[in-house]
Amino acid sequence: MIDFIKIRIVNPDIPGIRNNNRLDWLQRTNERTGEIIEYSAMFHGLTFQIIDNKYLNISGSIHKHWNAIQGRGEQNYNDFDFTNFILIVNTFCKSFDLSPDQCVLENIEFGVNICPPVPVPEILRSVINHKGKQFNQKTTQKMNYLECEHRQYYLKLYDKGLQFDKGNTLRFEIKTRKMEVVKTAMVQTLSDLLSQDNMNSLGAILTGNFSDILFYDYTIPETGINAGERLILTQGQNPMFWNEYKKTNPDNYFKKRNRYKDLVKKYGKQDLQEILIPLISQKWNELLTTDPETLQELTGGEKSNITGIDTSNIGTNPVNINMNDPDPGTPQRRYCLSCGRDISKQRPGSKFCSAKVVGYSQAHRCRNIDSNPRNRIRYMKEMERINPPLFDTIPFFIEYRQTIN
């Protein structure tokens, strides 16, 4: 969920933090004048930095920090859910006499680990670009990593299972360079991250960016495609083609890109966005849903008081705890059948996201994820009627769809 953070402390108590017995400080001085320029200290994966004896910055993986203080080492391969995040923010702020409201976010990294039905190396091999920008790739014996650098953020996909020997696990995440990119989520301080509504918005930003990745589908056959369409598919596999085409044909770029995507859907058998977007959204919702038993174990509270987290130092924003056991008179939550987003506030009977809530493109995408398989079967039936094949392919297509759903 939330991993790396960089925060700037508003009106820091410099003497107080310098005297905190949890921190061992190193100092950097001006060699000529002897003036102390900077103090720095490490504490379970977090770096504390005091500059000019008046500015305090803290950065590092809050996920690794959580694992470290739990005795699991500074690692982030396991799940780190909303309950864990609330508790570690509370503990962190109490330990260093901070308020989440005074912890201004300079950068955050957020994402999910999913276990897709498609091998992760195959997914990474199929990635072409994101919003027209090419990915950088790093490959070693223990790393298969893609990163797309934008002006305000990085988009990352990598083989988490390869990195930690944890099976077929894909990590997808966004790391901000400027907080402007997540302004719709209304997160400016640590306190803002304690709101489920704001975290839901971060999840929407995550899935929305994944939907902008351009993929190739390696199940596309080598034969049975006319020369014009084959040329578009061959050119479209090459990230450099899109870089050049956008420069030389900017007015026709999106038309060409949409034509390419239509051909990939037409001839391919696995739409990676149809497969992976629901998994990403469902995983985010799973991590965001608090579990009362886990909450009780982590807080050490009694069952009758499992919602009683000490919030005196958490901030003014409400911490919304979903008890997963609503009262009989409480309406049941409803979720989009495609992306898994909570649609309880939409009109009764809604099955998919509303354009009024998530925008036309995302709402249209949710409906397409549900309807495209049926439309594709109708298309295949029509093609088989016009050009009868040697055998009926429809049952095999239906069987394939069932294996990935």
CA proximity to 373, closest of 341, 351, 335, 399: 399
Task: Measure the CA angle with vertex 198, ends 194 and 204; round to 5°.
Answer: 135
Q: Are 175 and 154 in contact (CB under 8 A)?
A: yes
pLDDT tier, 318 (very low <50, low <70, confident <90, very high otherwise): very low
Q: Give 32 or 162, the one with higher predicted confidence.
A: 162
CA proximity to 337, closest of 274, 270, 400, 264: 274
Residues 6+ apart with CB under 8 A from 399: none
Q: Give me the chain's average pLDDT, please.
A: 82
Tokens 């690692």 correspond to what residue? Answer: 75
Poorest-confidence range of 74-78, 114-118, 153-157, 302-306? 302-306
Q: What pTM value is reported for the model?
A: 0.71
Share of the chain above pLDDT 70, in %: 78
Dist. CA 55–CA 8, nearest whole Å:
8
Q: Are 338 and 369 in contact (CB under 8 A)?
A: yes
pLDDT tier, 307 (very low <50, low <70, confident <90, very high otherwise): very low
Q: Give 73 or 312, the one with higher predicted confidence.
A: 73
Q: What is the mean pLDDT of residues 338-351?
A: 75
Q: What is the mean pLDDT of residues 151-170?
A: 92
